[in-house]
Homo-oligomer: A and B are copies of this chain.
Amino acid sequence: MNRLYHVPLSPFCRKVRLSLAEKRIEVELVEERYWEQDADFLRRNPAGKVPVLKMGGMVLAESQAICEYIEEIQPDPPLLPSTAQGRYEARRLTAWFDDKFFHEVTKKLLYERVNKKVMGQGYPDSTNVKKGAKAIKFHLDYMSWLLDQRRWLAGDQMSIADFAAAAHLSCLDYISDVDWNRSATVKDWYAKIKSRPAFRGILADQLPGFLPPRHYANLDF
**What 1/0 mask marks residues of chain A from 71 to 114 whose CB sits below 8 Å from any chain B CB?**
01100000000001101100110111001100000000000000
**Does chain B have a CB within 8 A of A193?**
no
A84 with B91: in contact, given A47-B96, A96-B62, A142-B46 (CB under 8 Å)?
Answer: no
Contacts of A64 in B (CB 8 A): 64, 91, 95
A69 to B95, CA, bound (A): 14
Stoichiometry, as copies per complex, reads: 2
Q: Count A interface residues, CB 8 Å.
A: 25
Contact between chains at A62 and B142 (CB < 8 Å): no
Min CB–CB distance A61 → chain B (angstroms): 6
A65 with B95: in contact, given A58-B85, A60-B88, A84-B72 (CB under 8 Å)?
Answer: yes
Min CB–CB distance A54 → chain B (angstroms): 14
**Does chain B have a CB within 8 A of A68?**
yes
A87 with B62: in contact, given A46-B142, A47-B96 (CB under 8 Å)?
Answer: no
Contact between chains at A62 and B91 (CB < 8 Å): yes
Contacts of A96 in B (CB 8 A): 47, 62
A88 with B68: in contact, given A46-B142, A95-B62, A142-B46 (CB under 8 Å)?
Answer: yes
Contact between chains at A65 and B47 (CB < 8 Å): no
Q: Which chain A residues in 22-56 approach chain B with CB under 8 Å?
A: 46-47
Contacts of A66 in B (CB 8 A): 88
Closest 10 CB pairs of A and B: A65-B91, A65-B92, A69-B88, A62-B95, A72-B84, A62-B92, A47-B100, A65-B88, A68-B91, A73-B84
A→B interface (CB under 8 Å): 46-47, 58, 60-62, 64-66, 68-69, 72-73, 84-85, 87-88, 91-92, 94-96, 99-100, 142
